[in-house]
Structure 1
């Protein structure tokens, strides 16, 4: 995929975070689970479970001198389903670790709204961050990968996945998916991920909102950004 095609077709990215997390994200960055566990100095068996096993519920973590943080649940994914759909010898533990090393962004508002309306999340307020794709890619292109599937969901008919699921922008078969699979733009590229995390989030964000049952409350907006920017 050409970078210009990515920016043209997906000018905005969306990230759904825990409610009331915006201030912490501004201060510490948008961190992957692994980076968050490093930051909070987790180790041993407690860390292994959070990093290499499925999390059926969100887990609040703490460390002296830091505000508490939340490691998000993985409700849409089960180990039993992963055992059936993982390819190339990838184990469920390796898949959990692969996901936990990344920060995830939706490339379409439709995908975001689908997650907000999912049974696991619809009755809880969420923080939604809207970002400028060109800004994020310009700063992090070397650690960005794209996925053709919802990599963290195995409900219904789980799609095969493995070591080749996440590809660099240059290696992603965008035209092939658009033409031979007749994919809509929103389905041609499903996820954009950044390894490790995104520090200085305000450099790339356009707006942050609290979303609950369709109601949106603006938490922050970049000066001069269009009032329509958001979920």
Structure 2
């Protein structure tokens, strides 16, 4: 896949964050779980419990001089399902380590809305960031990987996943997936390894979504009202 194909096919990206997180995101950027734990100084067993095992519920973290933060749960996954679908001799701990090292973005508004309506999340308010793909890719291309699956879910029939699930843009077999699924579903996730400290530069709109009803929190001047969840 080329960068031009990526930007033309998916001009917008979406990220679903915890309610109340926009202020912290503006200050510290959008960080992966591992980067967030670095920032908050988590080490040892306390860190391993968050980073290397499944989180059945969201976890509050804190550190002196920093606002409280929440690390989201991993309800859609299970160790037993991962053991059935992991390739390359990977173990669940390896997959959790991989996921926690990355920040995730949807390339499809349809998939974002599906997540917002999922049983685990639809009762609680969420913050949704709408981003400019071109700007993000121009600055962070070296850290961007693409995935053809929802890598954080093993619900229903777990899809196989392994070391080649996440690929750089240039290595991603876009034409193959486009033939199988159509252009809109050829790429499911875009991830940035480590996170996006300068996320504010690429945010177009921010909404708080509660029971499928979005409330605008912020919008880039001059942006289209269609940009949002």
TM-score (norm 2): 0.99
Residue 200 of structure 1, CA deviation: 2.0
Please name the residue that 1:139 is paired with: 139
Determine if the alignment matches structure 1 residue 206 to structure 2 residue 165: no
Residue 186 of structure 1, CA deviation: 2.9
The ranges of structure 1 where at least 4 consecutive aligned residues each deviate by more than 3 angstroms after the TM superposition are: none
Residue 6 of structure 1, CA deviation: 0.5
Paired with 2:150 and 2:9, the residues of 1 have a C-alpha distance of 18
Q: Which runs of 5+ in 1 are unaligned?
A: none
Residue 184 of structure 1, CA deviation: 2.5
Please name the residue that 1:225 is paired with: 223
Map residues 96-135 of structure 1 onto 2, 5 A cutoff. Answer: 96-135=96-135
Please name the residue that 1:60 is paired with: 60
Please name the residue that 2:156 is paired with: 156
Paired with 1:51 and 1:43, the residues of 2 have a C-alpha distance of 10
Paired with 1:186 and 1:19, the residues of 2 have a C-alpha distance of 28
Paired with 2:25 and 2:82, the residues of 1 have a C-alpha distance of 30
Q: Deviations 1:20-64 (Å, cap 9, x if unpaired)?
A: 100100000000000000000000101011110000000000011
SS at match of 2:15: strand
Paired with 2:59 and 2:182, the residues of 1 have a C-alpha distance of 36
Q: Deviations 1:51-84 (Å, cap 9, x if unpaired)?
A: 1000000000001111100001000010110000
TM-score (norm 1): 0.98
SS at match of 2:227: coil
Q: Is the 8 A contact 2:57 2:74 kept in 1?
A: yes
Residue 139 of structure 1, CA deviation: 0.7
Paired with 2:220 and 2:68, the residues of 1 have a C-alpha distance of 26
Comparing 129-138 with 212-221, which one deviates more in the overlay?
212-221
Please name the residue that 1:187 is paired with: 185
Q: Which runs of 5+ in 2 are unaligned?
A: none
Count of residue pairs brought into register by the alignment: 229
Q: Is the 8 A contact 2:29 2:200 kept in 1?
A: no
Please name the residue that 1:43 is paired with: 43
Residue 226 of structure 1, CA deviation: 1.1
RMSD: 0.7
Please name the residue that 2:21 is paired with: 21
Paired with 1:159 and 1:228, the residues of 2 have a C-alpha distance of 33
Residue 155 of structure 1, CA deviation: 0.4
